[in-house]
Structure 1
Amino acid sequence: MVDLARRLGLAALLAVLAASPAHAVTAASAPLAKDEVTMELRENGVLHVKETVAPAGGTVRRTPLTRTRYDDGHDRVYRISNVKGGSYDGETLTFKGTVEYDVTGAVTPTASGEELRWFAVSGPVQDAVVTVTGPGRVQNLSCFAGELSAAIACTSASVEETGTTSTFEQQGLGEGQTLTVVVGYPKGATGARPILERRFELSTAFTLNAVTGGSLAALLVLLLGGVGLLYWTRGRDARVVGSESAPISGHRGGHFTPPDGVRPGQIGTLFDEQADVVDVTATIVDLAVRNYLRIDEQPRQTYDTPDWCLVKLPGAPVGHLLPYERALYDAIFDGRDRVLLSELQGSFAARLATVRDALYQDVVAQGWFARRPDSTRSRWTTLGLAVVALGVVATVLLAWFTTYGLLGLALIIAGAALAFGAQYMPAKTAKGAAALAHTLGFREYLAGANVDDVPAGQRVELFSRYLPYAVIFDSVDRWARVVSAFDGNGRQTDHLYWYQGPAEWNLSRFADSMRTFVMTTSGAISTSRQFRSL
């Protein structure tokens, strides 16, 4: 039984071997019997190579070495061209029998002359012979066989009596091994130089040298200059504010007189160069206290959402409104006589863009800014982002092809600084700085004003006029409580001329109602995304 099993196993193995293709049996290619290479170094530095193999019937495929490490930052390149008797696809040289080709970049200048080095024969081959002629007498020669990094000398190397022809021989060159020949010639024999290509390495792409260091220093000077310019323009505001810093009353002889005639909606843009949600909210309150509209608080149950009705007052002199006020007035009513605050959407949100543009145009028309603050910010932001994009492209290209990658990084830093600093670029005129100083004085007055300085009969109207400014200055609670304590004769009442509450409402609730109205209105305006929210 055991003998029978052995016979069956042997039969199965023979069947498998018989069915397998012949080329699968041999893993490695058979060595060539002989490889003769003739090389001629011409006066222009081009090496002409002719290689003949035997037997000549089979196809020979070579992968010539065309790139080696030269130094920390460069590779040495050997360029093969003018192939005859075969084909070269940039990586593999294919031929049968005989092939000719030219090599550029195989010559290196040395201290005493020139050196030709070429990887003449690749194994496996049993007998390799290389003959080299050149444009001058041979000064020295050597050869190496084995791995490319091997220092083992070849079988033989000799020079003919004429001193112009060298012969190298190697027997038994194995798979993956190379015969490298080196021949020295007098200085100036060809005048050729190696072909070098920069090799990308992160460690050398951002080298700090005189060029990159000087550029970074120049960038630092520019950034400091920009800071100095901002200090000069912003410092002017601070100097004017400091020289005119004092509380400024908002009334004279019991009549409302805001400093420089500044209206609530203008203050926010004057103060921080931004058209904010609170600027529009304060303007709505201001239109009410100036008798262009009335605010009616709607009755509600305990858990109902509060709502208000904005009512257009007949006969209001809308022709006296500033452009941004008229744009807001038209956006609110849009052909209606009354509208609920909760219904302010759709066309209202779309038309708020016109209000925002009118606000920016107004501060220029008032002479507070030479250019629209938003346009100035946009221009500098766009310029900064463009410089950043240019810096990214420059960094990639400079790092890949040179060692000046830091120059691109300098551009990126400069662009980012421009984009970030864009918010500080709008600068007020001298008139604008003075108006800001007076406005800050008015804010200081509102924060600590003594209500007893105003005659009782004028307090409701005057303090109502203060209220929109209190919305801007975030002191609405204090002035709403002040307003809720008086009527035209100094006595408590159930409503105001510009704010009406439901039947169960009285003026003692005005402070809470006003705070909620401001928050709700600001929320409704924020949903339009046309103004910056605080």
Structure 2
Amino acid sequence: MTAAGGRPSPAHRRVAPVALVLLVLVSLALAAPSTAAAAPVAGGAVGTAAPDAVGAWGGRTPALAAQEQADVLHTSIEAQEDGSVLVTEDVTWRFPAGEERHGIYRSVRVRAGYRDSDTQYRYYELSGVEVSSPTGAPTDLVVQDFGAFRKIRIGSPSETVSGTARYVVRYRLAHLVNDIGDGTAEVYYDVVDPANGFPQQDVRATVSGPAEVTRAACFTGPSGATDPCPATAGAEATYRIPDLAAEEGASVVAAFPRDAFGDLTPDLREGSASADSGSRVSPAASRVLGTLAVGTGVLLPLLAAAGMGLLVWTRGRDEQYAGLTPGLSPGRGDEVRVVTTGRAPTVAVQFTPPRGVQPGMVGTVLDEEANVVDVSATIVDLAVRGHLTLSREDGGAFRGDDWLLTRTSPPAGAAALASYEQTLLDGIFVAGAAVRLSSLKNRFKPTLELVQREMYEEVVHRGWFRRSPERQRAGWVGLGTVLAGLGVLGFVFGWGLFGGLFSDSVFPVDPSWVLFGGLVVGGLVVRSLGKRMAARTAEGSAVLAQSRGFERYLTTAEANQIRWEEAQDVFSRYLPYAIVLGVADRWASVFEEVATAAAAAGYVVPGPWWYSGPWDRAGFGGVASSMDSFSTVAAGTFVSTPGSSGSSGFSSGGGFSGGGGGGSSGGSW
């Protein structure tokens, strides 16, 4: 806030509450020491302040030396014609005895109130930061936003300093010179902000500008105090400031002729001058929290990998019957030990598919997923079993081929349909007994999803899985997605929320980055390994072994093993399984040889009754090719959804310590 006439009023110190994601971080922050040497204050940690004694030096004698303080603070302020100031701080810092630190920080105020406004504040843009050390201390530089301040962190995370070190810090603050309105311009600057947390000794300041300083004043003490200190105007105004205890500041004022400057319009911005962008804790607490955040960020992926690996090992591996040939199940009443193993069962050739196991079930038990190809192969299987016919319609040169599906009455004695098969048939023929495949586009997906859910329920009902593989995977993938999403949100929003907590940590990167990165990596690990959590029961492994054995038969069958009069029936019954297993072309080639041999002997192999298409010319290869094409087109048709047009459906006064602009305070880290 500022007083009338453009002069800033005191900026009251406010301590922002610590906001943390992890409860353990909160507890550590609250457990941080609250003594005078570590109590959190805006801009730095509070040092041990020596008591003041009444004397002749500006009303107080110099404060006694503290464990940590500025032994020397000489500040030079050079006003520029554009209204900015160049500030040079020559600081000799005394570090705590017996402790090694990495360097110091300077918290420079860049926001100040404006005319008692709650919605606007003055902004002094910080730029041109340079640091040197005549004593050779590390001068690596990091500048961070810290609410109303910008923190200049000086030093190296990998090097330490002790004793005392000297630093020369230079920076520019824009729009700091005030137009008073009476023909004068004024520099009103907090050499030491009252939020300062450590004693300051041997404090001096000078102010110069494009013209001679016509009037000078100086004020010291806590925020709002009016204790004067010696100030001399002239070509360069000089100020001799008494030693300051913690939470005492010093402001200097220098007046210039207004015509020595150009435009002095202040930089006004919307918001609150006291708004904080980070919680402030003591350097010791910041180091503890930083270590905890980095450790947590590193451990999260390791714990996720170890935990998920253990779960996959104990719960994500298939069961098998011990002592039985793979593919066999114990007889009624027999007790057989069940073991958990990650090895695939050894299989032998099996000349028939698993008894009572439809092609869609084979596909689901093989890869633990009810894929769209399993659904389309089920349609072919239902056709083979007499529930519908498939007729291919040539689309010509300008339109793709289509298929006409016609519902038929199943033969007498046909086996009852499974729940998912009945749902599939009813969903296809909801509009009538004859349906073109293309007509199902953009409207069949809800039925497809229902059929797939019922297929997962069916494999659980048959005892092949203890839980739906889809739900097991979805649960773990969802958890991993949430963890990774929290990490991404942390990168986007957490920098401003938690950056201040770790500003005094000793790490070369912000610990919050490591923490949020660990969340992302840990989430991805959970997602990846969670997909392996579905496991077959011993009965499911037996069906798997039988299915693999039948797959061997489909890929090794020879034409001379098949009787001519049975060729059409065997080809049709096993074709849906070949589609699921991806060997339909190989299966058809075997029957092409059978048909050729039969034709040479004068026997004509009839075509499948359930398929209407070119037979004499294409034969078994043509049927297999057509069914592969049908499965591909059906897959795209079943998963299609209506597109969006992208348009709306509705068509739519006096001076005092702490009253200046800018200003700084500091501490060590």
**Normalised TM-score (structure 2):** 0.51
CA contact (8 A) 1:268 1:275 kept: yes
Q: Is residue 2:472 matched to residue 1:376?
A: yes
User: Aligned runs of 1:241-256 on 2, under 5 Å?
Assistant: 242=343, 244-251=345-352
- Equivalent in the alignment of 1:161: none
* Residues 21-50 of structure 1: per-residue CA shift (max 9 Å, x gap): xxxxxxxxxxxxxxxxx9777999xxxxxx
Equivalent residue in structure 2 for 1:390, among 475, 481, 486: 486
Say whether residues 1:493 and 2:493 are aligned partners.
no
- Residue 519 of structure 1: CA displacement? 1.2
Residues 386/134 of structure 1: CA separation in 2 closer, same or farther (3 Å cut):
closer
- The match for 2:622 among 490, 512, 519 is 512
1:184 aligns with 2:243: yes
Q: Which 10-residue stretch deviates more, 62-71 or 464-473?
A: 62-71
Please give the residue correspondences for 1:278-317 in structure 2 after superposition, counting only pairs within 5 Å. 278-297=373-392, 306-316=401-411
Amino acid paired to 1:461: D
2:429 paired residue number = 333
Q: Give the secondary structure class of the aligned counterpart of 2:477.
A: helix
Higher RCO, Cα 8 Å, sep 6+ = 2
Aligned-pair RMSD on alpha carbons? 5.1
SS in 2 for 1:115: coil
Per-residue deviation, residues 327-361 of structure 1 (Å, max 9, x unmatched)? 12122222533334454446545533332232232
Residue 236, structure 1, aligned to residue 318, structure 2: yes
Which digits, 9 at most, give the CA deviation of each residue in 1:118-151, with x for residues without a partner?
Answer: 758665444656577889xxxxxxxxxxxxxxxx
CA contact (8 A) 2:111 2:122 kept: no
Contact 2:588 2:621 survives alignment (8 Å) = yes
Whether 1:222 and 2:316 are equivalent positions in the alignment is: no
* Amino acid corresponding to residue 400 of structure 1 in structure 2: G
The answer to whether the aligner puts 1:449 opposite 2:557 as a matched pair is yes
C-alpha separation in 2, matches of 1:366 and 1:107: 74
Q: Deviations over 1:75-132 (max 9, x none)?
A: 2559989999xxx96566676799999975276646xxx4274758665444656577
Does 1:172 pair with 2:235?
yes
Measure the CA separation in 2 of the matches of 1:424 and 1:404.
32
Structure 1 equivalent of residue 419 of structure 2: 323
Judged with a 3 Å threshold, the aligned counterparts in structure 2 of structure 1 residues 107 and 40 are, in CA distance, closer, same or farther, namely farther
Whether contact under 8 Å (1:83, 1:100) holds in the other structure is no
Over alpha carbons, which structure has the higher Rg?
A: 1
Moved more, 427-436 or 205-214: 205-214
Query: Hey, what's the Cα distance between the residues in 1 that align with 2:220 and 2:584?
Result: 100
Asked if the contact 1:39/1:132 (under 8 Å) is kept, the reply is: no
Residue 477 (structure 1) aligned with residue 585 (structure 2): yes
Indicate if the aligned counterparts of 2:386 and 2:409 stay in contact, CA closer than 8 A: no
Partner of 2:511: 404
Aligned residue pairs, count: 422
Q: Which amino acid is 1:358 matched to?
A: E
Q: Which amino acid aligns with 1:498?
A: W
| Rounded Cα–Cα distance in structure 2 between residues aligned with 1:134 and 1:348 | 78
Aligned to 2:572: 464
Letter in 1 for 2:579: V
**Is the 2:377–2:580 contact (alpha carbons within 8 Å) kept by the matching residues of 1?**
yes
Asked if the contact 1:324–1:355 (Cα under 8 Å) also holds between the matched residues in 2, the reply is yes
One-letter amino acid of the structure 2 residue matched with residue 227 of structure 1: G
Q: 1:264 to 1:435 in 2, by over 3 A?
A: same
CA distance in 1 between counterparts of 2:110 and 2:627 reads: 81
Counterpart residue number, 1:435: 543
Mapped to 1, the partners of 2:105 and 2:368 lie a distance apart of 51
2: CA distance between counterparts of 1:83 and 1:301?
Answer: 80
Cα 1:490–1:104 shift into 2, 3 Å: farther
Partner Cα separation in structure 2 for residue 166 and residue 300 of structure 1:
98
Relative distance call for 1:393 and 1:522 in structure 2 (3 A) is closer
Q: Distance in 2 between matches of 1:73 and 1:440?
A: 69
Alignment of 1:116-265 (within 5 A): 117=203, 124-126=211-213, 167-173=230-236, 179-184=238-243, 190-192=245-247, 210-225=291-306, 226-236=308-318, 242=343, 244-251=345-352, 258-259=353-354, 261-265=356-360
Q: Per residue, is there more helix in 1 or in 2?
A: 1
Aligned partners of 1:272, 1:373: CA distance in 2, in Å? Answer: 10
CA shift at 1:524, angstroms?
Answer: 3.0
Deviation for aligned residue 1:216: 3.7
Distance in structure 2 (CA, Å) of the matches to 1:407 and 1:426: 30
Distance change >3 Å, CA 83–CA 101, structure 1 → 2:
farther
Q: Unaligned 5+ residue runs, structure 2? A: 1-56, 64-81, 92-102, 124-175, 251-275, 280-285, 321-339, 503-509, 642-669
> In 1, are the aligned partners of 2:305 and 2:525 still within 8 Å (CA)?
no
Equivalent residue, structure 2, for 1:140: none
Distance 1:165 1:342 in 2: 90
Supply the AA of the counterpart residue of 1:276.
Answer: N
| Contact preservation (8 Å) 1:82, 1:101 | no
